[in-house]
Chain A
Amino acid sequence: MKFRGKVWKFGDNIDTDAIIPARYLNIWDPQGLAAHCMEDADPDFVKKMKPGDIIVGGENFGCGSSREHAPIAIKAAGIACVVAKSFARIFYRNSFNMGLPIFESPDLWGKVKEGDEIEVDADAGQIRLIGSAAARLSIQPVPPFMQELIADGGLMNHITKGRKK
Chain B
Amino acid sequence: MGMTITEKILSRHAGLAEVRPGMLINAKVDIALGNDITAPIAIDAFRKAGGGKVFDREKVVLVADHFAPNKDIDSAEQCKLMRDFALEQKLTHYYDVGEAGVEHALLPEKGIVVPGDLVAGADSHTCTYGAVGAFATGVGSTDLAAAMMTGELWFKVPETMKFVYQGRRRPWVSGKDLILYTIGRIGVDGALYRAMEFTGDAVAGLSMADRLTMANMAIEAGGKNGIFIPDAVTEDYCRNRAERKYTFDTSDPDAKYHSVIAIDVEKIEPQVSFPHLPSNAKGISEVGDVRIDQSIIGSCTNGRIEDLRIAAEVLKGRHIAPHYRLIVIPATPAVYRQAMREGLFDIFLDAGGVVSLPTCGPCLGGYMGILAKGERSVSTTNRNFVGRMGHPGSEVYLAGPAVAAATAVAGRLAGPEQL
> Do A and B share a complex?
yes
Q: Which residues of A contact B (CB under 8 A)?
A: 13, 15, 17-18, 21-23, 25-28, 40-41, 43, 59-60, 63-69, 72, 86, 88-90, 93-94, 97-98, 143, 145, 154-157, 159-160
Q: Are A40 and B387 in contact (CB under 8 A)?
A: yes
With beta carbons under 8 angstroms apart, the residue of A64, A93, A159 that contacts B385 is A64
Q: Are A68 and B124 in contact (CB under 8 A)?
A: no
Give A40 to B389 CA distance when docked, in angstroms.
12
Majority DSSP secondary structure for residues of B touching A: loop
With beta carbons under 8 angstroms apart, the residue of A41, A60, A155 that contacts B143 is A155
User: Which residues of chain A are near B193, meaning CB under 8 Å?
Assistant: 89
Give A69 to B192 CA distance when docked, in angstroms.
21
| B24 to A: closest C-beta gap in Å | 5
With beta carbons under 8 angstroms apart, the residue of A18, A23, A155 that contacts B146 is A155
User: Which residues of chain B are near A18, meaning CB under 8 Å?
Assistant: 385-387
Give A64 to B382 CA distance when docked, in angstroms.
10
| A74 to B: closest C-beta gap in Å | 13
With beta carbons under 8 angstroms apart, the residue of B24, B67, B146 that contacts A25 is B67
Interface residues as binary, B33-59 with A (CB distance below 8 Å gives 1, 0 otherwise): 000011011001100111000000000
Indicate whether B251 reaches chain A with its CB closer than 8 angstroms: no
Give A80 to B268 CA distance when docked, in angstroms.
46
- Knowing A90-B139, A159-B149, the reply to whether A26 touches B392 (Cβ < 8 A) is no
Q: Are A60 and B222 in contact (CB under 8 A)?
A: yes
Name the residue of chain A whose CB is nearest to the CB of B193.
A89
Question: Which of the 9-residue segments B71-79, B167-175, B198-206, B338-346 touches chain A?
Answer: B71-79
Name the residue of chain A whose CB is nearest to the CB of B72.
A26
Q: Are B140 and A94 in contact (CB under 8 A)?
A: yes
Give A41 to B392 CA distance when docked, in angstroms.
9
Indicate whether B366 reaches chain A with its CB closer than 8 angstroms: yes
With beta carbons under 8 angstroms apart, the residue of B138, B146, B189 that contacts A159 is B146
| A144 to B: closest C-beta gap in Å | 9
7 additional A-B pairs beyond A89-B222, A93-B143, beta carbons within 8 Å, are: A17-B385, A28-B44, A64-B383, A65-B123, A66-B38, A90-B124, A94-B143
Q: Are A90 and B387 in contact (CB under 8 A)?
A: no
Most buried by A among B40, B71, B124, B366: B124
Q: Are A13 and B189 in contact (CB under 8 A)?
A: yes
Q: Are A156 and B386 in contact (CB under 8 A)?
A: no
| A73 to B: closest C-beta gap in Å | 12
Give A155 to B143 CA distance when docked, in angstroms.
8
Q: Are A15 and B385 in contact (CB under 8 A)?
A: yes
User: Which residues of chain B are near A97, meaning CB under 8 Å?
Assistant: 140, 142-143, 146
| B48 to A: closest C-beta gap in Å | 7
Indicate whether B277 reaches chain A with its CB closer than 8 angstroms: yes
| A154 to B: closest C-beta gap in Å | 7
Name the residue of chain A whose CB is nearest to the CB of B67.
A26
Q: Are A145 and B154 in contact (CB under 8 A)?
A: yes
Indicate whether B369 reaches chain A with its CB closer than 8 angstroms: no
- Knowing A17-B388, A66-B140, A145-B154, the reply to whether A160 touches B49 (Cβ < 8 A) is yes
Q: Are A88 and B189 in contact (CB under 8 A)?
A: yes
Interface residues as binary, B384-397 with A (CB distance below 8 Å gives 1, 0 otherwise): 01111000100000
| A54 to B: closest C-beta gap in Å | 22
With beta carbons under 8 angstroms apart, the residue of A28, A66, A69, A154 that contacts B139 is A66
Q: Are B364 and A86 in contact (CB under 8 A)?
A: no
Q: Are B45 and A143 in contact (CB under 8 A)?
A: no
List 5 A-B residue pairs with CB atoms under 8 Å apart, sorted by A's residue number.
A26-B74, A66-B140, A68-B142, A89-B192, A145-B24
Q: Are A25 and B37 in contact (CB under 8 A)?
A: yes
Q: Are A86 and B189 in contact (CB under 8 A)?
A: yes
Indicate whether B28 reaches chain A with its CB closer than 8 angstroms: no
Indicate whether B399 reaches chain A with its CB closer than 8 angstroms: no
User: Which residues of chain A are near B365, meaning CB under 8 Å?
Assistant: 17, 21-23
User: Which residues of chain B are near A143, meaning CB under 8 Å?
Assistant: 24
Name the residue of chain B whose CB is nearest to the CB of A60.
B189
Indicate whether B150 reaches chain A with its CB closer than 8 angstroms: yes
Q: Are B124 and A26 in contact (CB under 8 A)?
A: no
With beta carbons under 8 angstroms apart, the residue of B138, B145, B222, B364 that contacts A22 is B364
Give A141 to B50 CA distance when docked, in angstroms.
33
Q: Are A65 and B364 in contact (CB under 8 A)?
A: yes
Name the residue of chain B whose CB is nearest to the CB of A13.
B188
User: Which residues of chain A are near B277, meaning CB under 8 Å?
Assistant: 13
Q: Are B138 and A156 in contact (CB under 8 A)?
A: no
Q: Are A60 and B188 in contact (CB under 8 A)?
A: yes
Name the residue of chain B whose CB is nearest to the CB of A27.
B74
| B71 to A: closest C-beta gap in Å | 8
Indicate whether B141 reaches chain A with its CB closer than 8 angstroms: yes
